[in-house]
Amino acid sequence: MMFGLAALAIVVAAIMVLYRGIKGPRVYDRLLAINSMGTKTVILIALIGYMYERPHFLDIALVYALINFIGTIAFLKYRETGRLD
């Protein structure tokens, strides 16, 4: 029950972040929205793992956190220099 409520709160927060991602006037607003959406996804995966009593979901959450970081770095670099190498 408690995990369900926490997941619901995360989903509500994710919808607010999604609004900023769609509306955001600048690129950096959208980037920040993507980044915090990724963080919320990590927490949501962990919560769902506890709700369905499958602790292996934590592994997936950890991978998601690492890849999310790399994606943000890549996008910022592309934004700054126009290329990735």
Burial (CB count <10 Å: 0-12, 13-18, 19+), residue 70: exposed
In Å, what is the CA distance from 63 to each residue of 20, 39, 66, 69, 85? 25, 12, 5, 10, 24
CB of 56 to other proteins, least distance (A): 4
What is the smallest separation between the CB atom of 69 and other proteins, expressed in angstroms? 7
**66 is an interface residue for other proteins by CB under 8 A:** yes
Q: Does 73 bind other proteins (CB under 8 A)?
A: yes
**What is the binding site for other proteins (CB under 8 A)?**
56-57, 59-60, 62-63, 66-67, 69-70, 73-74, 77, 80-81, 83-85
